[in-house]
Structure 1
């Protein structure tokens, strides 16, 4: 059991649930969102089922306005196409929607991030002889660079939050400050990193990730211990709002339906 899970055992929700609900709250109704599979898809669909029924969910395989009844296993899951407003080719998704500036939010997961919100989903260890070969880039580099802003959601640990990435798959703020703009990357970049311990946002000047909200039952010391660099803490650090009963019920129902549909014993991501 993680430190975050331990810290929340006396509460009515798990660390994964507050992370998912907190991430979903960031999506406003009517937002056009390019969704990654996994935790981003869970949070985005939770937003659609609760406070943001008009959010437009776009997946890399071509569905626009997807309204899946259960969480997709992959971007090619047939339920995405069956429930979408329309389905177009992948080139149109990237050229017309993404490169055309029509994506408000890119919602991404990550294996690792660094202090400037750069993402690694390629390898752990040396590229030519990695300890772990990760799933790879997919469309994440384009989403991270072209979406108007990016949300990143992942679980918080020293292995995930590292001082130096072995490989930069998708650009955050590169070396910080104005490096992203100097590189000619058009999107605003990651505006929030949501974890099972808290929420980190970039410093307005340096672009270094700063802890701006901490989840109930979690201590600053726990967050620092789970971060591979000397994490900065906002002077006005907030406590994340606890999940409301409606959001928790919707999330648990979605995960139970997904588990039943895919023949899983448990429900959702733990």
Structure 2
């Protein structure tokens, strides 16, 4: 019998992110795991996937390796479009981005993401985070939002302390329309232990897949609100040995993100 492949949390997030992306679409990526996921998708099932980088590059060919950041010169290699930050966001406002790939510190049951502060209030927070970057505009203008973060109860909260990147707001059907934002809103939430979507009727977070060896009940224990469980909930697909080789040997060749260690608290 073949021994099971050992997969780290970051490898799991990158691989699952790749699976979620589709061919012939455009994704607005952030630094790190989103770029790695998109590169893996291009190398496997989505060769015609194109990336937008916040600094202004569109549809680059990343033949010089993974950009260290969205402003790395490698992100502009053979780009079809290379103008600047404002032009990149204008593309999303004109409807040219199918996916926004963002991160954050907190997320709630309606897919609102906080990356501004935690605890206290805006002027006197307990913890201050870096803020939106471009994520707020990405979530407001791209067609679908994909969020990535570690699965922890302190992150998956009933209500975020501050809406940095808009989701479905309070869950009302016309919230996004009244807020004046574009796109259909939150689509997937990718974690190291589960893949979530959103129920169309209630706009609440729904468990779609869970890590092999876990269970829906175990995932619920890590979330501070009641999850909807998909009728066809199933185990997450694990990357093969070949997938891991692609991730390490052609995507994150220097191990800047995939080789990071998870600190248990």
| Contact persistence 1:200–1:210 (CA under 8 A) | yes
Partner of 1:3: none
CA 1:165–1:250 in 2, change beyond 3 Å: closer, same or farther? same
Instruction: Quote the RMSD (CA, aligned, Å).
Output: 2.1
Identify which of 121, 129, 137 aligns with 1:142.
137
Contact in 1 for aligned 2:15/2:40 (Cα 8 Å):
yes
Name the SS for the 1:116 alignment partner: coil
Matched, 1:171 2:166: yes
Give the corresponding residue for 1:98. Answer: 92
Q: Give the aligned length.
A: 256
Name which of 240, 243, 246 aligns with 1:244.
Answer: 240
Gaps of 5+ in 1: 1-8
Give the Cα–Cα distance (whole angstroms) in 1 for the partners of residues 258 and 180 of structure 2.
42
Query: Which structure 2 segments of 5+ residues have no match?
Result: none
CA distance, structure 2, for counterparts of residue 27 and residue 254 of structure 1: 18
Shift of 1:19: 2.4
Q: CA deviation digits over 1:135-181, x for unaligned, max 9?
A: 21122111111111111111111121111211110100001131223
- The equivalent residue for 1:40 is 34
Equivalent of 2:249, from 240, 247, 253?
Answer: 253
* 2:223 is the counterpart of 1:227: yes
Q: SS at the partner of 2:140?
A: helix
Instruction: Note the C-alpha offset of 1:82.
Output: 3.3
Cα offset, 1:73, TM superposition = 2.9
Task: Please tell me whether residue 22 in structure 1 is matched to residue 16 in structure 2.
Answer: yes
**Contact 1:103/1:148, CA 8 A, preserved across alignment:** yes
Higher strand share goes to which structure?
Answer: 2
Q: Does 1:57 align with 2:51?
A: yes
Equivalence for 1:214: 210
Whole-Å Cα distance in 1 between the matches of residues 66 and 148 of structure 2? 16
TM-score (norm 2): 0.88
> In the alignment, is the contact (CA less than 8 A) between 1:27 and 1:52 conserved in 2?
yes
How far 1:213 moved relative to its partner?
A: 1.2
Task: Name the SS for the 2:157 alignment partner.
Answer: coil
Shift in alpha-carbon separation, 1:210–1:152, aligned structure 2, 3 A: same
In structure 2, the residue corresponding to 1:216 is in which secondary structure? coil
